[in-house]
Amino acid sequence: MTAIDDVSQEKKFQKIIKLKRNRLSEDFLQYLRANLIFSWMDKNPEFKHIPMLVSCPVHLQFEIHIVSTGLNVLQSMLGTPERKGMYATTLQQDQQLLNQGNLGWHTYCAVMHRTTQKEVLQN
């Protein structure tokens, strides 16, 4: 198998999860369910007899765990004052840059895009 074959094999299992402002992402919840179902059942053996699904909610306790984990993932992407997330600047810093009004067109578009991403994560 060549390196190209390896890359194409990896792409078969990739999915882009799109997050939107003020909208719940079913794809994101399904991704979390798929990745957390076995570890959650190992920690909660009393629920092993309940058939669990990745595609939709079945058990309230598991869904609470999924939503809690999802919120933690999104918050870690945004970062905290003590720990950087995936961005070098904070939402407030980007908003201040946009309010200055002296940005070039390309910089303005980049900062606006980054600001919108952060607002989606924050919402």
Query: What is the rounded CA–CA span in Å between residue 88 and residue 46?
Result: 44
How would residue 75 be classed by pLDDT, with cut points 50, 70 and 90?
A: confident
Q: Which residues does 61 contact at the CB level (< 8 Å), separation at least 6?
A: 44, 47
Q: Which two tokens stand for residue 80?
A: 């905290």
How would residue 11 be classed by pLDDT, with cut points 50, 70 and 90?
A: low
Question: How wide is the angle at C-alpha 31 spanned by C-alphas 78 and 37, nearest 5°?
Answer: 115
Predicted TM-score (pTM) of the model is 0.69
Classify residue 119 as exposed, middle or buried by CB count within 10 Å of its CB (0-12, 13-18, 19+): middle
- pLDDT reading at 68 higher than 90: yes
